[in-house]
């Protein structure tokens, strides 16, 4: 009886200690990741401005535009050449000051950096969002849900399907089904867009039952239900393409993990104790393999963020990838930089979530040795 | 070393490895053959398009595809005046020539185009030529007359006046049976285009090539610029292999050396390497490549450089580090240190060889991903500006809406080659993985 309050307090203190350690860990990781994003985005800005060389191009462009404006304006027709040149010079000067091109690039690059970090991505040079906004932020935010919807769906599908299939296969290790799935693993050498081309060819041209591209019908259907149905029909092919390109390799790698871990001594021990097989699977096989599984899931996510560009392009999906492609076409530097910054943030968030998950799953982090 | 050889010997037990090796050897052999028969400079020259291809049809299907489908579409025919029986009557200050260009047409479909290329060796006064088209059943069509420049191209297919007279495009109307029912039927038999030339100089010579463009061409077909796709499909092999191999070697070797150096020296060097790797993982590879392609250069070698540069501090460093850390503490390293081996020697001769067996499968599996990366960039329009590659063929096909127009071969043949390359390396790589990773082998 006397021991019970202490026994009650210990788990409580343990949870508190765990939470404190976890918070400390989170803050540390957040700071480190923020620094990495900072460096990464700064490198991006340097590349996108060609280390300052783009400014010279911009100067030339300003000069020619201003000269053209002044020459074409009837109000200045009766100016003498000297006056006109002086006027052009004054206007160029104004533009240069407005864009702060008179300051050294290094100074401005730091400004660009803090703007990018605050997601103040500036205004697009040529493009605008579907609602007509010129801010890069709004252009990107408008496209983000489309990308998230498509890639979220595909990733989750692949993740759960392959874990379940892999578990099943590791139970029936060596069967014909197992071997045929393993033989198919090399097919994942081709990226999703590659399978996409074939799927479009088959299901949109040879047997025209599904749309070849786009996100919804044109014009978009009226009711919510009809809209969702149309969206689903359009999602079918791109999701199938991504599914095809990653499913076999995921099954392969997870089956290997499960096989390795189900031959560990402690699993043998559990079997010897006569525990039911579903319990062995959940407690002795799945639990210790969770962190590698999550790592490969996160790595797959990271890979798919950039693979998205081409898949979206192939399926004409109005997401971030298509946006980047259009921005390249328009040579719209602010949009290109903005997209890369968003990609960097998405990757950082992925890495961060991975770290937190690790901390939750891996007791060593909580105990403070990790 | 013995471990390596032993592993290679064991590889023979995996059929997939043998298939993969066969594919790789076939590709390498074809690549060597291509580079020898079509030298680099010539390949670039050909792929630039234009004049070398003027006698090729536009968007022609491969012959074998057509024949398998049971059609008998026409091939391209070139009827040259050099093989014709020319009647020549000289007169004072010139000559009169009659050049009959005859050919048999026995295909089930109409030609895709009809052009006449004329060259003349006159010095000052241009000769005059009159064209008459004669069908097998004896009908005659006057195709008009014209003065000849030194090089002349008569686009019979684009003769609007003739099209109006025939009621159909000339390359259909001139080959159709006279009945006015639609659709038109091909009239098989011997056709003749007669050129009546009057030259106003004694020794001026006129040569003519009548090109009846087919609807099928060669093994690979042609594209919208009349280029034979075979050139790009063949040259795509060495380009893809070189890009994939160089990128894989460049990234794995540098990554491995840097990881080993970090582990060996430890301290701030290791910390810097770790932080750089984290920054690099955040940097999205493809968008950066896209930016480089847009702003700097789309040359395949610049891209290769950037890929390697971005790949140096890749996520692989973390994996190698984990593998190398226990090796660093092992007794044989201690022994090497004791006999006075230098840092570089320990890293290169003692640490790296230990994890090479694990590295080889990764390396082989990595190759196709770079091959596909090159294709991806080309598909985004950032392919090398001059080199013919598979990705560029697919990009052309996409911009020309090849699938919509039914030119499936244009997309499928480069895709099939890409898939073959990917499968070859992946099959070998997965088999190597099972051989060299003992934990997998015992399964």
In chain B, where are the structural domains located? 2-47+227-440, 74-213
B-interface mutation test, from A30, A188, A190, most B Cβ less than 10 A away: A190
Q: Residues of chain B with pLDDT > 90: what percent?
A: 10
Contact B216, B62 (CB under 8 A): yes
Asked if the Cβ–Cβ distance from A50 to B281 is below 8 Å, we say no
Q: Which residue among B16, B380, B440 sits closest to A325, beta carbon to beta carbon? A: B380
Structure tokens at A264: 């560990």
**B187: closest CA of chain A, how far (Å):** 32
For B16, nearest residue in chain A (alpha carbons): A183
Could you read off the pLDDT of B333-372 as tens digits, one per residue? 888 888 888 888 888 888 888 887 778 888 888 899 899 9
Contacts of A307 in chain B (CB under 8 A): 286
Candidate CATH numbers 1.25.40, 3.30.70, 2.60.120, 2.60.40; the one for domain B74-213: 2.60.120
Please give the Cα distance from A244 to A219 (Å, whole number): 30
Residue B403 in contact with partner chain A when CB distance is under 8 A: yes
Which of A50-59, B404-413, B416-425 has the least mean pLDDT?
A: A50-59
What pLDDT sits at residue B27? 94
Low-confidence ranges of chain A (pLDDT < 50): 1-9, 367-370
**A269: closest CA of chain B, how far (Å):** 19
Q: Residues of chain B with pLDDT > 70: what percent?
A: 97
pLDDT exceeds 70 at position B181: no
ipTM value: 0.75
Contacts of A314 in chain B (CB under 8 A): 379
Asked if the Cβ–Cβ distance from B379 to A324 is below 8 Å, we say no
B-interface mutation test, from A186, A211, A303, A324, most B Cβ less than 10 A away: A186
Is the peptide bond preceding residue B183 cis, with omega within 30 degrees of 0? yes
Q: Is the pTM of this model over 0.90?
A: no
What pLDDT sits at residue A8? 45
Please give the torsion angle defined by the CA atoms of residues B223, B225, B231 and B235, in that order, rounded to the nearest 10 degrees: -100
What pLDDT sits at residue A4? 43
What is the per-residue DSSP string for B138-155?
A: S-EEEEEEEE--SEEEEE
Measured over the CA atoms of residue A50, residue A52, residue A55 and residue A60, the dihedral's sign is: negative
For B379, nearest residue in chain A (alpha carbons): A310
Could you read off the pLDDT of B229-260 as tens digits, one per residue? 888 899 999 999 999 999 998 988 888 889 88
What pLDDT sits at residue B243? 92
Which of B58-67, B314-323, B361-370 has the least mean pLDDT?
A: B314-323
What pLDDT sits at residue A51? 65
Instruction: State in words which class domain B2-47+227-440 has.
Output: mainly alpha
Which pairing describes strands B140-147 and B94-105: parallel, antiparallel, or unpaired?
unpaired
Asked if the Cβ–Cβ distance from A306 to B426 is below 8 Å, we say no
What pLDDT sits at residue B109? 86
What is the per-residue DSSP string for A177-199?
A: HHHHHHHTGGGGGS-HHHHHHHH
Structure tokens at B289: 């490549």
Structure tokens at A48: 């996108």
pLDDT band at B443 (very low <50, low <70, confident <90, very high): very low
3-state helix, strand, coil in chain A (%, to 5): 80, 0, 20
């Amino acid at each position: 009886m006397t021991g019970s309050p202490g026994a009650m307090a210990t788990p409580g203190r343990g949870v508190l200690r765990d939470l404190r350690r976890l918070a400390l860990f989170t803050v540390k990781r957040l700071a480190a990741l923020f620094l990495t994003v900072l460096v990464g985005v700064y490198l991006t800005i340097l590349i996108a401005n060609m280390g300052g060389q783009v400014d010279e191009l911009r100067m030339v462009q300003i000069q020619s535009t201003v000269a053209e404006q002044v020459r074409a304006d009837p109000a200045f027709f009766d100016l003498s050449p000297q006056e006109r040149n002086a006027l052009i010079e004054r206007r160029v000067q104004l533009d240069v000051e407005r864009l702060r091109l008179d300051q050294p690039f290094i100074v401005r690059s730091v400004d660009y950096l803090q703007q990018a970090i605050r997601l103040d991505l500036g205004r697009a040079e040529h493009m605008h969002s579907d609602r007509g906004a010129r801010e890069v932020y709004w252009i990107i935010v408008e496209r983000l849900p489309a990308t998230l919807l498509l890639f979220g769906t595909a990733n989750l599908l692949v993740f759960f399907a392959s874990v379940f299939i892999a578990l099943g296969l590791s139970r029936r290790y060596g069967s014909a089904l197992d071997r045929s799935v393993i033989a198919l693993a090399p097919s994942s050498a081709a990226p999703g867009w590659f399978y996409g081309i074939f799927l479009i060819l088959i299901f949109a041209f040879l047997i025209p039952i599904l749309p070849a591209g786009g996100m919804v019908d044109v014009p978009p259907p009226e009711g919510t239900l009809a809209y969702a149905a149309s969206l689903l029909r359009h999602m079918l092919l791109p999701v199938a393409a991504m599914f095809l390109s990653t499913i076999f390799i995921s099954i392969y790698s997870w089956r290997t993990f499960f096989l390795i871990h189900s031959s560990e001594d402690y699993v043998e021990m559990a079997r010897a104790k006569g525990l039911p097989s579903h319990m062995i699977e959940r407690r002795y096989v799945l639990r210790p393999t969770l962190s590698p599984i999550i790592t490969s899931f996160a790595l797959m996510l990271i890979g798919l963020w950039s693979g998205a560009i081409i898949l979206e392009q192939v399926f004409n999906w109005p997401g971030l990838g298509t946006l980047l492609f259009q921005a390249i076409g328009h040579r719209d530097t602010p949009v290109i930089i903005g997209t890369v910054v968003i990609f960097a943030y998405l990757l950082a968030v992925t890495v961060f979530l991975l770290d937190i998950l690790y901390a939750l799953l891996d007791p060593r982090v909580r105990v403070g040795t990790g | 070393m013995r471990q390596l050889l032993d592993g290679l010997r064991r590889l023979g037990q995996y059929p997939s490895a043998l298939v993969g090796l066969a594919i790789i050897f076939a590709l390498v052999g074809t690549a060597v053959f291509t580079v020898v028969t079509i030298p680099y400079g010539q390949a670039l020259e050909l792929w630039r398009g234009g004049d070398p291809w003027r006698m090729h049809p536009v968007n022609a299907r491969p012959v074998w595809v057509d024949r398998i489908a049971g059609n008998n579409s026409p091939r391209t025919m070139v009827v040259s005046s050099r093989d014709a029986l020319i009647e020549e009557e000289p007169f004072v200050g010139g000559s009169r020539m009659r050049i009959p260009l005859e050919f048999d047409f026995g295909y089930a479909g109409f030609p895709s185009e009809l052009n006449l290329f004329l060259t003349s060796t006159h010095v000052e006064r241009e000769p005059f030529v009159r064209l008459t088209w004669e069908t097998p059943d004896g009908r005659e069509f006057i195709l008009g007359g014209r003065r000849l420049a030194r090089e002349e191209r008569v686009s019979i297919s684009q003769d609007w006046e003739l099209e109006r007279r025939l009621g159909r495009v000339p390359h259909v109307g001139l080959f159709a049976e006279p009945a006015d029912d639609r659709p038109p039927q091909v009239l098989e038999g011997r056709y003749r285009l007669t050129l009546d030339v009057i030259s106003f100089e004694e020794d001026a010579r006129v040569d003519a090539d009548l090109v009846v463009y087919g609807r099928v061409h060669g093994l690979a077909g042609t594209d919208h610029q009349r280029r034979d796709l075979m050139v790009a499909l063949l040259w795509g092999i060495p380009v893809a292999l070189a890009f994939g191999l160089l990128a894989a070697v460049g990234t794995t070797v540098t990554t491995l050396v840097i990881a080993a150096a970090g582990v060996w020296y430890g301290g701030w060097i290791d910390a810097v390497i770790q932080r750089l790797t984290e920054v690099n993982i955040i940097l999205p590879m493809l968008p950066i490549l896209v930016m480089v392609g847009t702003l700097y250069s789309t040359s395949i070698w610049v891209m290769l450089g950037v890929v390697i540069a971005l790949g140096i501090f890749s996520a692989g460093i973390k994996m190698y580090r984990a593998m190398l850390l226990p090796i660093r503490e092992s007794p044989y390293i201690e022994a090497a240190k004791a006999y006075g081996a230098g840092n570089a020697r320990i890293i290169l001769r003692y640490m790296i060889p230990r994890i090479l067996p694990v590295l080889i499968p990764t390396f082989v599996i990595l190759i196709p991903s770079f091959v596909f990366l090159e294709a991806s960039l080309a598909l985004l329009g950032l392919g090398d500006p001059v080199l013919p590659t598979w990705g560029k063929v697919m990009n052309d096909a996409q911009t020309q809406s090849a699938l919509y127009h039914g030119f499936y071969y244009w997309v499928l043949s480069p895709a099939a080659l890409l898939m073959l390359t990917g499968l070859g390396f992946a099959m070998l790589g997965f088999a190597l993985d099972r051989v060299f990773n003992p934990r997998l082998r015992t399964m």
